[in-house]
Structure 1
Amino acid sequence: MAARASRPQGVDLVIPEHKIQEVLERVDLVSLVSRYVELKKAGREYKGRCPFHQEKTPSFYVIPEKRFYFCHGCRASGDAVAFVQRYLGKTFIDAIRDLAREVGVDLEAAQDPAARERQQLKEATDLAAEHFRALLWEEEGRPARDYLASRGISEETARAFGLGWAPDAWSSLADKLTQAGMVEWGLNAGLVNRRQKGEGYYDFFRGRLIIPIRAPEGRPIAFGARLVGSDEGPKYLNSRESRLYNKSETLFGMDQARDEIRRRKAAVLVEGYFDCIALHQEGVKHTVALCSTALTPGHLKALGRAEARELFLLLDGDQAGLAAVERLAGPLLAAGAAAKVALLPTGDDPDTFIRREGTAGLERLLNEARPLTAHVFSTVLPQGKEASFEEKMAALERLKPVSAQLPVGLVRSAFFAALSAWCGLPAAELESALRSKAPPPPAPQAPRAAPSGRPGPAPGRAPPPGRAPPPGAPAQRPPPAKPPDSLEALYVAVILREPRLIARDTFRVHDELSHSGLRLVLAHATSGHGAEDALFEAPDLVKRAVEAAMRQLASLQGSALEHYFLQVCRSIMLRRIKLQLDYIGRVTAQTAGAMDLSEEAKQLFAQRMELLALKKRVEEETHLPAGTKSPMQPV
């Protein structure tokens, strides 16, 4: 996870999550609060009058061992960052930067140059996507709109996929990037090229319909471009790979298909952008397309994250389609994926088929799809056991590229057992004949030796205190990330759905979120970037937690969502109060009697009474109107 702070030059400062934790650990919260509040020691805590509301009797506590403050009167609470935010009116990012400067955490040095470049690429790509999109709906975009109409693509679908137009001009986008001070970033993103003669830049995409390739969160990361109105140049051009875009991990249309894939637990895979767009327009919304000719483990991982349990290969029924199945079979079988093949009639592609047969025709085709192995075996060796010796040998030769991708183990053994049953040759002989092609299992890494010959520290482990790491030792890794709390993830998910509801958070739960990754997502979303952008850079643990929470909220709208949000706030607050009551209970459990109470014990008992009063207020203020049910109890 990375947080971004605005820079004068337009470049964003990227703050790693573990650095935020380091800042919080280094800050002396008592000293920080004491600058603005007169605090007095009260047992293990410090007490004073709350700076956030007028009060005569002190009810504001700072708990050093937990790096946490809490007011029993107005319910203000949080850590050092939350205090600076609230008292000084700073943003989350600015508060972190100010505190880091004070405690000597160098955030500039913590920046990953690759992350900085990635941010620049994002901003240039965002600008280009909006530039192309706007031009499509202006007068000069008419050729592209006419082409879309000829393919039956509606305006609604074109807008949903963010389609655009790159005019047949040399520097339409280059001029825009130059004005924004991003032309070098556009160069790195492959959006513009440097002129070979003279100064300046020219556009990479010209005279083309632009198809944005988006991350699953919906942000554009690259472009496909279809030539329109000319025969000069290749029919399709695609963005080159960058730190932002890796085609071996990206599936076109995943941002539109993700929810439907999750609902159906299945995905339809096609090979063309317009095949994917056409199927979505006709209601087959769990369709995605490859951005290259190869299917990779990265693509399968992306489908797995979307909870696809079954994959349908929807390919042309011609020779190219048959060859594509063989090409895709290796990685699918190696991954043990449940895949089926739905071949279209010869001469059809998914686009033309669904326009003629409709959704019902396509669903029928998918229902008749055959398992991948059955399709491959019947394609390479139609006669099966009855085939001639020569036909069997030719079939085995065709299967070599497939078997070469199968790792030694159960998947490989099962493949040869199925092949043996089909062609009538012994499985052991088949595997022996092709064994040299099998990729070996990954070898375990041997421990690295220190320069002296003695064993060095384990990779990623810090050297003993006071001892410098040996020369050439690997850099210390950040501590392992912890998964977010499910209640806190629900809170953030509601705000991403309906940012206005943050004003209903009278308890300021956002100051109390314990997971810094969630706080960064929330800070990003509430600064005007939107839900998709807020999740774009989130680590997988945070992203999965928030996406799971969003699915839990899918059926809630309007007042039901608002009531649910209030219950989430209520549950988080009551849980925090319970933790503090439990803490007081443990500390005071050994108190013999009222006459033996220490000053610290008296303070704790007074706190307990305040907490019980606060608990009652929270329960009363978040009580739902009579006859209203909480849609799902968030506990």
Structure 2
Amino acid sequence: MIPESFIQELLNRVDIVDVVDKSVPLKKAGANYSACCPFHNEKSPSFTVSPTKQFYHCFGCGAHGTAIGFLMEYAGLSFVEAVQDLAKNVGMIVPQETRDPDKLPQKTVVGLQEALQQAANYYKSELKKSERAIAYLKARGLSGHIAAKFQIGYAPAGWQNLQTVFPQYENEALTVAGLVVTNEQGKRYDRFRDRIMFPIHDQKGQVIGFGGRVINPEDTPKYYNSPETPLFQKGHELYGLFVARRAIRDAGRALVVEGYMDVVALAQYGIEYAVAALGTATTPFHITKLMRQTDEIVFSFDGDNAGRTAAWRAAMNALPALSDGLKLRFLFLPKEHDPDSYVREFGKEAFEREMQQAMPLSQYIIQHLSEENPLNSQEDKVKFLNDAEPILKLITAPRFALLLRKRVAELAQVTPQEMQSMLRLPAPNKIVPKAAVRQMRTPISIKKRFVLMLLMQPQLASSEHLAFAQTSHEEDVLLRIVVNAALMQPQSKPATLLHSIAPHVDARLLNEIQRELHLLDESLDIPLEFSGACTQLRDMMADVRDSHLLNLLKEKPLTLLTDEERALLKKLTVKR
């Protein structure tokens, strides 16, 4: 593990403008630099890089982060690779731990992510020892390079193999992480046994869950996923996205398939821009996540009835997330094939030719609605409109909605106006564009304002400022953490401080602070703003103290008050 102190020093040494400019040419724009966002297609620049704050931020798609985060997002590097790349550029040597790679660390689990990473390391080491598991992967056409790229492993047969990794096998973190199961008799055992293991990564490359596939065809279920945990929500994550990000941007499209084996088999044949949903239908969250990488998404499902059902469900779930300019297409392979078997039999070029013929979403919707409806009789057309109504109401992309409505009205032989009135559809031009939402900002509290000023100039921090945090409220917790970080790192850049406090602050609150920091006017007189915030916070503390004292005085009978207390009561009453 790379020491946290080294990462903080590295972020203080690198200049994010130089890092980004190597890949995305930047232009000076006031105090910042700007460019068209490399993470989504746009015509007007909304991507900014701040040399003062050492952040990048896109006001279009919301992408943001430090120099490390940029290399991970843009170049598809892992966290360690990004740190090594940056360190090399500034002449720093990354501290390395020397350890026998075949000897797994024996340590107490201290958190979910660490438990999952230790398990992933164990499964990878076990794959090297299992000739049966290796033979299975080779039979599926997978090379050692692809297995390593996706960090594929093997969970051996047996009930408590993970006890060799986690001496404290009773640790509740193992259950919460989905690695260990407790039966009705209270016996604990490994969730995954005798399965090929596919680690699931988040956007930072950290392991957040697993998918396990059987080797023995008689075992069930065929695929077995980690349960939902605080780190892993199936409806939000896509298998293979962390590995595929760069390839998706290079190809200009993302391919969504049904299973892990489809993803790795396609990668083996050079189609490295595939991802898979995790035991659930494609959701609007998946679409939104992919839209940050590309504006073309192709769904490829098995050619059987189950595959077609999954495709229609994916289409319907995608509708709320649609935006004008996003291209969704659907590829249906022959019934006897899935992407894995098709690419192995016919190769990359044949599969990509099939992709070029994939059906656009609008055509797919019309085909699905009319495939069992000849539209000959009046009753046929009524059914057609009834079936189309809930679909049309789900679509919020104005231009796409307008054109699809015209086509539906044409097939039903009514005018668009008649159909809109009959189905009570909202007028497409009345749909509020998402950009309008961005104009609405809630003023931040004085404590958050104080935090922002301190992140900008940590040398302003004093231990006396800890008195501003009197409670366990999240803002007080944040204030204490930031003050302590600033005292320890008075010369650090904003990006470095944010990185250091990230593990200790609620993710939602941290994202809010990051967003406000991006929007902060860099022409402000920070020391003056900070002094003003301190004055307000001291006044707030005095008000709280006076209110408490006033309540204490009111609780005593007037006849029992001393002269000093009566004078104080009068003074506090007048003041309020």
TM-score bin, normalised by smaller chain: 0.5 to 0.7
- Tell whether 2:245 aligns with 1:237: no
User: Is the 1:257–1:285 contact (alpha carbons within 8 Å) kept by the matching residues of 2?
Assistant: yes
| Inter-CA distance 541–299: structure 2 relative to 1 (3 Å threshold) | farther
Cα distance, 1:386 vs. partner?
A: 5.3
Among candidates 276, 280, 284, match of residue 263 of structure 2: 276
The normalised TM-score by structure 1 is 0.50
Cα distance, 1:428 vs. partner?
A: 3.9
SS at match of 1:177: coil
SS at match of 1:340: strand
Cα distance, 1:286 vs. partner?
A: 1.0
| Inter-CA distance 320–428: structure 2 relative to 1 (3 Å threshold) | farther
Question: What is the match of residue 348 of structure 2?
Answer: 359
User: Is the 2:502–2:510 contact (alpha carbons within 8 Å) kept by the matching residues of 1?
Assistant: no
Question: What is the match of residue 197 of structure 1?
Answer: 185
Residue-by-residue CA offset, 1:452-484 (whole Å, 9 max, x unaligned): xxxxxx67534999xx99x9x9968979xxxxx
Distance in 2, Cα, partners of 1:127 & 1:151 = 27
The normalised TM-score by structure 2 is 0.55
Distance in 2, Cα, partners of 1:477 & 1:441 = 40
Distance in 2, Cα, partners of 1:518 & 1:147 = 47
Question: What is the match of residue 240 of structure 2?
Answer: 253
SS at match of 2:329: strand
Cα distance, 1:294 vs. partner?
A: 2.3
Question: What is the match of residue 324 of structure 1?
Answer: 310
- Equivalent residues in 2 for 1:328-343 (5 A)? 328-334=314-320, 335-336=322-323, 337-343=326-332
Among candidates 208, 217, 236, match of residue 221 of structure 1: 208
| Inter-CA distance 176–429: structure 2 relative to 1 (3 Å threshold) | farther
Question: What is the match of residue 77 of structure 2?
Answer: none
User: Is the 1:192–1:202 contact (alpha carbons within 8 Å) kept by the matching residues of 2?
Assistant: yes
Distance in 2, Cα, partners of 1:134 & 1:372 = 44
- Equivalent residues in 2 for 1:500-539 (5 A)? 514-517=493-496, 520=499
| Inter-CA distance 515–290: structure 2 relative to 1 (3 Å threshold) | same
SS at match of 1:339: strand
Distance in 1, Cα, partners of 2:283 & 2:316 = 10
Distance in 2, Cα, partners of 1:415 & 1:309 = 19
Cα distance, 1:370 vs. partner?
A: 2.3
User: Is the 1:208–1:225 contact (alpha carbons within 8 Å) kept by the matching residues of 2?
Assistant: yes
Among candidates 138, 141, 165, match of residue 149 of structure 1: 138
Residue-by-residue CA offset, 1:256-313 (whole Å, 9 max, x unaligned): 210011122211111111111111111111111111332223212221222x111111
Cα distance, 1:189 vs. partner?
A: 0.6
- Tell whether 2:166 aligns with 1:187: no
* Residue type at the aligned position of 1:127: Q
SS at match of 2:111: helix
Distance in 2, Cα, partners of 1:432 & 1:145 = 62
Q: How many residues align?
A: 370
Distance in 1, Cα, partners of 2:408 & 2:345 = 37
Question: What is the match of residue 276 of structure 2?
Answer: 289
| Inter-CA distance 211–389: structure 2 relative to 1 (3 Å threshold) | farther
Cα distance, 1:393 vs. partner?
A: 4.3
Distance in 2, Cα, partners of 1:263 & 1:542 = 29
Among candidates 344, 347, 350, match of residue 339 of structure 2: 350
Distance in 2, Cα, partners of 1:182 & 1:441 = 54
Among candidates 189, 194, 197, match of residue 207 of structure 1: 194
Question: What is the match of residue 130 of structure 1?
Answer: 121
| Inter-CA distance 408–266: structure 2 relative to 1 (3 Å threshold) | closer
Question: What is the match of residue 375 of structure 1?
Answer: 364
Distance in 2, Cα, partners of 1:513 & 1:265 = 38
- Tell whether 2:107 aligns with 1:121: no
User: Is the 2:269–2:348 contact (alpha carbons within 8 Å) kept by the matching residues of 1?
Assistant: yes
Cα distance, 1:252 vs. partner?
A: 0.7
* Residue type at the aligned position of 2:122: H
* Residue type at the aligned position of 2:124: R
Distance in 1, Cα, partners of 2:167 & 2:384 = 57
Distance in 2, Cα, partners of 1:174 & 1:389 = 68
Distance in 2, Cα, partners of 1:156 & 1:173 = 26
| Inter-CA distance 408–145: structure 2 relative to 1 (3 Å threshold) | closer
* Residue type at the aligned position of 1:172: N
User: Is the 1:135–1:166 contact (alpha carbons within 8 Å) kept by the matching residues of 2?
Assistant: yes
Cα distance, 1:4 vs. partner?
A: 6.6
Bigger Rg, structure 1 or 2: 1
Residue-by-residue CA offset, 1:290-343 (whole Å, 9 max, x unaligned): 11332223212221222x111111122332233223212234333223111221
Distance in 2, Cα, partners of 1:158 & 1:542 = 36
Question: What is the match of residue 297 of structure 2?
Answer: 311
| Inter-CA distance 514–355: structure 2 relative to 1 (3 Å threshold) | same
Residue-by-residue CA offset, 1:355-398 (whole Å, 9 max, x unaligned): 11111101111111221111221232149885444444444455
Question: What is the match of residue 28 of structure 1?
Answer: none
Cα distance, 1:156 vs. partner?
A: 1.9
Distance in 1, Cα, partners of 2:376 & 2:477 = 58
User: Is the 2:235–2:280 contact (alpha carbons within 8 Å) kept by the matching residues of 1?
Assistant: no
| Inter-CA distance 291–145: structure 2 relative to 1 (3 Å threshold) | same
- Equivalent residues in 2 for 1:529-568 (5 A)? none
User: Is the 1:208–1:227 contact (alpha carbons within 8 Å) kept by the matching residues of 2?
Assistant: yes
Q: Which ranges of structure 2 fall in alignment gaps of 5 or more residues?
A: 12-51, 53-108, 433-441, 451-467, 480-488, 504-508, 518-576
What is the root-mean-square deviation in Å for CA atoms of aligned residues? 4.6
| Inter-CA distance 183–401: structure 2 relative to 1 (3 Å threshold) | farther
Distance in 1, Cα, partners of 2:410 & 2:272 = 37
Cα distance, 1:434 vs. partner?
A: 4.7
